[in-house]
Amino acid sequence: MVVPGHTPQQMQAAAESAAVAPVLPAERPRPPKPRSRMMRQYDLVERVRSYNPDTNEDLLNRAYVYAMKAHGSQTRASGDPYFTHPLEVAAILTDLKLDDATIVAALLHDTIEDTEATRAEIDRFFGPEIGALVEGLTKLKRLELVSREAKQAENLRKLLLAIADDVRVLLVKLADRLHNMRTLEFVPEASRRRIAEETLDIYAPLAGRMGMQEMREELEDLSFRTLDPQAYGVVMQRLDALADRNRNLIGEIESQLARKFRDHGLTARVFGRRKRPFSIWTKMERKSIGFEQLSDIFGFRVIMPDLESCYRALGIVHTTWPVVPGRFKDYISTPKQNDYRSIHTTVIGPGKQRVELQIRTEDMDQIAELGIAAHAFYKDDIGSPTELLKRESNAFAWLRHTIGILSESANPEEFLEHTKLELFHDQVFCFTPKGKLIALPRHANVIDFAYAVHTDVGNSAVGCKINGKFAALSSELQNGDEVEVLTSDAQSAPPSAWETLAITGKARAAIRRATRTAVRDQYAGLGRRIVERLFERTKLEYADDKLKGALPRLARASIEDVMAAVGRGEIKASDVARAMYPDYKEERVVRYGAKKTAAPAAKAAAPTAEPARGAFAIPISGLNSGLPVKFAPNGGAVPGDRIVGIVTPGEGITIYPIQSPALKDFEDEPERWLDVRWDVDETTPQRFPARIKVENVNEPGSLAQVATVIAEHDGNIDNISMSRRSPDFTELTIDLEVYDLKHLSAIINQLRAKTIVARVDRVNG
């Protein structure tokens, strides 16, 4: 196994020392300290030539010299020449056996950002392929954003979009972050913590999702050591002590396993390894257990020559030792999204010890450790590395798909949130009724499943069956569940509340997008009504084609954008008219002294048997309208009232009774008036808001008598306020909920019949 950051000489020295001093076979050396001397040109060339005999030495030499001169006298926080950093990044990538272009991009990755070098100059000296790689690694500068999170998100968005074009950008970025983490001790403490948090939040999970477990684990441990050095020290101390106590036992288990496989004619490479400090710590926190209660600190890998041997080895293990229930997983038949393939099982093995085994082939082991970097990028006959991964890597396919979803996020913070959701999760595997496998994060529910099947399935989901039984859409899914999503054509957009229930970034992004579209459609419909109402009143001709020609004057890309802007109150209907007819002048209502003439729309909204010609009849049923609808804030309206709708851009429609004095405030804006009518279902009665003022005698029990009358007549009191008008009388303002005008009138008449009530009036706000 190649360890990032180690030279061939270091690896040879480690191998020689291993022959003398006993160490755990799978124990990986801790991250090396920065080299005492800077790597020379010939050192770098030799590292590349060791795995790629056809390397372009001239290209490597020119990049080495160019980067060294570009960085000049710049230094790092440690005091070392800055050029040592791109050299170390290149060294990490040579351990991953990457192609010449990637190594050169590593040498140059900070030149555009931190020196006088330009993209044009990089293209001229090294070609556009390398220039594109370097630019993809360059952070956005001079971002005028409010928060650090927004700046972080925009830089991450740029990086991910560059990765979608060329996966090598990701490999250089991860190597860059790894070396920065190895030398983090020299960075000021405030920045050190921020960098470690960002690494743990984004870059370590990103490496894991690309299958690069070796790099992910080192990034996690380095972050853990920075963020919680005390916990890191305690875990390391316990691990070292445990390793000393169990050194012989681990060797015995390895020997017995290897011997058992040989007895059955199988050649296997068996070695033990202990889990990393961060992995152990997170498990202790997740399960709320102490270090002594962990039973799987040490695991054993069984490397077999071929796929068939893996399953034969599994049969030998399961027929020799008792299996621990619930600890078997076959990631060979159902690989993880990051291409990881292995058989996991736990048995009560030699010495009655619990033994965790991972059984896989050599190729699977390489992919398990190096992920997408396990592909031989330096070969000339494979085509573009990105095209290769499109064909062979599920991990890269997931990344490209995720980037496509995340790039639609409305703002930087939302993008960052969804990115973290997509990066952080273990998996559960569920099935559609037709047997299609759907991989989801742990704690995912049916809503996430529906959107994983297809966005349209998620948007139209109304119910589900889990393993043949009806269940809630919010039900958490378990491994092996068969899920059938029930859909309805009547539901074109999901409830916005689903966003808080969904776990996956894909589902949340789709729900948010569908909600935005539905709201936009509502405002566009509202805006179109306002515009057409104005054009009818002014007797101007309206046509979409004519508005289309006026779009540049309104600074909108489409007619729907214009209508939605009118509905939200961002553009006035008169602005639309003026854009289409430059000579248009907005009409004003004529006033005669202190008296205002009634606006045409107000007349149209007057009580009539049928809506006036040209007015809009919008059926409403309480608050269940397709458009945002609410009742007048001071007094409401009830069925039986003649009503009018007032459009408030950005808010929707407010329903007023025609006798409401508040309507005078809208006489100068006739295009906001809509003729509306009730559409109440009498089979399912519902209550509506009304307000009354009651003047009653100020004596004990008078309030109770008023409340009793309302209750006996099936009214519902929503709110009461009291004011003392005189020593003898109290005025009550009561907000009621009643079925209709007849119901309200009956309550008012019964109150007037009480001797303690002096006066009752309905309030029309």
Beta strands in 505-617 (DSSP E): 591-592, 595-596
Contact between residue 243 and residue 272 where contact means Cβ atoms under 8 Å apart: no
Beta strands in 627-687 (DSSP E): 629-631, 643-648, 652-657, 673-678
Can you give the length of the chain in residues?
Answer: 765
The H or E element containing residue 17 is helix 8-20
Instruction: Locate all alpha helices (DSSP H) within 199-354, ordered by sequence.
Output: 204-209, 213-227, 229-245, 247-263, 277-287, 307-320
287 alpha carbon, distance to own chain's centre: 26
Q: Who's near 409: CB < 8 A, 6+ residues apart?
A: 415, 418, 509
Facing residues of 736 across strands? 690, 717
Exactly one of 113, 129, 149, 413 is catalytic; which is it?
A: 113
Calpha distance 197→182 (Å, rounded): 14
Exactly one of 114, 536, 667, 731 is catalytic; which is it?
A: 114
Rg (CA), the chain: 36
Pairing of strands 343-348, 269-274: unpaired
Instruction: Identify whether 201 is a catalytic site residue.
Output: no
Facing residues of 302 across strands? 270, 359
3-state secondary structure of 721: strand
**Burial class of 579 by CB neighbour count within 10 A (0 to 12, 13 to 18, 19+):** buried
Q: Who's near 604: CB < 8 A, 6+ residues apart?
A: 611, 612, 614, 615, 673, 675
Q: Who's near 504: CB < 8 A, 6+ residues apart?
A: 421, 422, 440, 441, 444, 448, 451, 452
Sheet holding 629-631, edge to edge: 618-620, 673-678, 643-648, 652-657, 629-631
Backbone angles phi, psi at 675, to 5 degrees: -85, 120
Number of Cα atoms under 13 Å in the Cβ half of residue 631? 24
Calpha distance 342→360 (Å, rounded): 5
Facing residues of 492 across strands? none
226 alpha carbon, distance to own chain's centre: 27
Calpha distance 152→139 (Å, rounded): 10
Instruction: Identify whether 113 is a catalytic site residue.
Output: yes
User: Closest Cα to residue 620, out of 603, 606, 641?
Assistant: 641
Just list the catalytic residues. Answer: 113-114
